[in-house]
Amino acid sequence: MNRPRNHSQRTSLASGLYQLPTRWAAFFGSLFLGGLAHTAAAPDNTTQSAAAPATVTSWVSSEDLKQQLSPQPNLALGPTRRSAGSSIRIDDSVRHQSILGLGSSLEHSTCYNLSLLPPETRETVLERVVHPDRGIGMNLMRICIGTSDFAPGPFYTYNDLPPGEEDPRLQKFSIERDRDYVLPAIRIAQRLNPQLRFFASPWTPPPWMKTNRKYGGGFLRRECHPYFAEYLVRFIEAYRAEGIPIHALTIQNEPEFGPEPYPSCLWTAEQQRDFIRDHLGPLFRSRGIQTLIWGFDHNFDNPGFPATLFRDPAAAQYVEGAAFHHYVGKPSGMLTLHREFPQKSIYFTEGSVFGVVGALQMISFFENRAQSYNAWVTMIDHRGKPNVSGFHDCSPTIVVLNRDTLQTEYRSDYFLYGQFMRFIQRGAVRVESVARRSRGFGQVAFLNPDGQVVLVVANASPRDSTFLVNYRDQQFEATLPPRSVGTYLWRRGP
């Protein structure tokens, strides 16, 4: 699902070179003058001077697009002192969850729209999305097992049959439909970012396996549980043969949502538990499948669903974690689950957010134990298409294609996402960060594997926000403009 939102802005190049060190100024200047990239460069993790541990580098993006991942003047960590404004205290000795990755989706609508572009433009769009240096560095993407609701043509699965027929041995299983535009887009993304990982979700099993024999609604027939388990394994094996390893999969996208004609399938928690325990888990083990299983894949309001899976040891042994969406409920649902099952992972697998208020939402997801973030639908056209289900209107996505001119628009959300995705590395650990609660102000901090501290701050107010950051026995002061997000990096001390 993707909720309606009217929030469309045009991008323009931003310089924002300010008083950068010569090395940085030359690098950013070459990018902007050359016109090859419109985003800021990633931090140079390997060459940052160890002799200047007190230097804080920062980047800012704003809703009005005056700042677009724009580098700011260096700040300096100095002795602790008092000052006006909010205060953020960071304690990197207190560790929370590790981060798997951040990204969006390469579902059918995105891949189809990419296929309409000239090859060089298609490459540029994907580069700006996934490349770790010339883009915003998305490193975790959701893909679909068969059709999703965002697709340009008739719904399909990998084992569609004429009415009345069944195929228990899956002799007619085929991923051929994905060769049109889905697999080509995935391969380009892989080439541009070899560290990219994929997790996958089905919107529906083949209709012949379901109680209503339709793409929308219905339940998986109990006698078809072993066939659907085989179906999922065949998908993993087929994509592996194409050179696309599947890091994880969910059993069903939104198992509690099943209207027609929306492609869907209803599952109770008990049905999903039994399916994993009795069929999918044992089949993974016997076939040597290393793909992780994530349970649930639906809204914050029902942490009891994945808890049902975890409370059964025979099922829980196969389930690495739980996946959540944000359409109903509060992020604290993830924290509720974590408190009962601290050994299980928690992922945020679907839900776009918009503007600086959206950045505050992302911060709250991480505060409530999310180990990943994935937006939903990367690229839609200016009419909100393709969206063949017609079930709901479509929000503008981070990249919008004008179908009449084949021009692409990078909305402000692209840069706001980049404030997180460019700088939070895979394997980063969220560390304790505390600030006085203030309306429209939020922050979250991480420790990257390379030893850099990353602080993301969001200011959704209509005024400048000045704040102090206290780290160990040092601090620095920064000011964020209205409705903007800032990212601050410095080297962790000994």
CATH label of the domain that carries residue 54? 2.60.40.1180
User: Would you state the pLDDT for residue 391?
Assistant: 56
- 373 part of a folded domain: yes
The answer to whether position 198 is within a domain reads yes
Q: Is the pLDDT of residue 390 over 80?
A: no
Domain boundary among 374, 402, 421: 421
Check residue 81 and give its pLDDT.
78
Specify if 284 maps to a domain. Answer: yes
Say whether pLDDT at 17 is over 60: no
What is the 8-class DSSP label of residue 492?
P
Residue-level pLDDT at 85: 63
> What are the Cα distances from residue 65, in Å, to 9, 18, 126?
8, 17, 21
Using CB atoms within 10 Å of the CB of residue 51, give its burial: 0 to 12 exposed, 13 to 18 middle, 19+ buried: exposed
Res. 96 pLDDT band, cuts 50 70 90: very high
Q: Domain for residue 450, yes or no?
A: yes
Co-location of 388 and 404 in the same domain: yes
Reported confidence tier of residue 388, pLDDT bands at 50, 70, 90: confident
Domain boundary among 421, 439, 471: 421
Q: Across residues 183-189, what is the average pLDDT?
A: 99
Rounded to an integer, the average pLDDT of 450-473 is 97
Average pLDDT over residues 249-264: 96
Let me know if residue 39 belongs to a domain. yes
pLDDT at residue 470 tops 90: yes
Residues 466, 406, single domain; the answer is no
The answer to whether the CB of 380 falls within 8 A of the CB of 369 is: no
Between the two ends of the chain, the Cα-to-Cα distance in Å is 46
User: Are residues 125 and 233 located together in one domain of the fold?
Assistant: yes
Based on the fold, state whether residues 108 and 84 are members of the same structural domain. Answer: no
Give the closest residue to 369 by CA, choosing from 409, 338, 408: 338
Number of domains the chain is built from: 2
Structural domain span for residue 319:
101-421
Domain co-membership, 475 together with 398: no
pLDDT at 29 over 90: no
Specify the pLDDT at position 430.
Answer: 99
Whether residue 49 sits in one domain with residue 149: no
pTM over 0.75: yes
pLDDT at 1: 53
Lowest mean pLDDT among 72-81, 141-150, 407-416: 72-81
Indicate if the pLDDT at residue 51 is higher than 60: no
Range 153-159 average pLDDT: 95
| Residues 36 and 137 both lie in one domain | no
Mean pLDDT of the chain: 90
Write the burial class of residue 167 (CB in 10 Å: 0-12 exposed, 13-18 middle, 19+ buried).
middle
Tokens encoding 441? 């102000």
Q: Answer yes or no: do 411 and 443 share one domain.
A: no
pLDDT of residue 139: 99
Same domain, 164 and 287: yes
| Distance from C-alpha of 311 to C-alpha of 273, rounded to nearest angstrom | 10
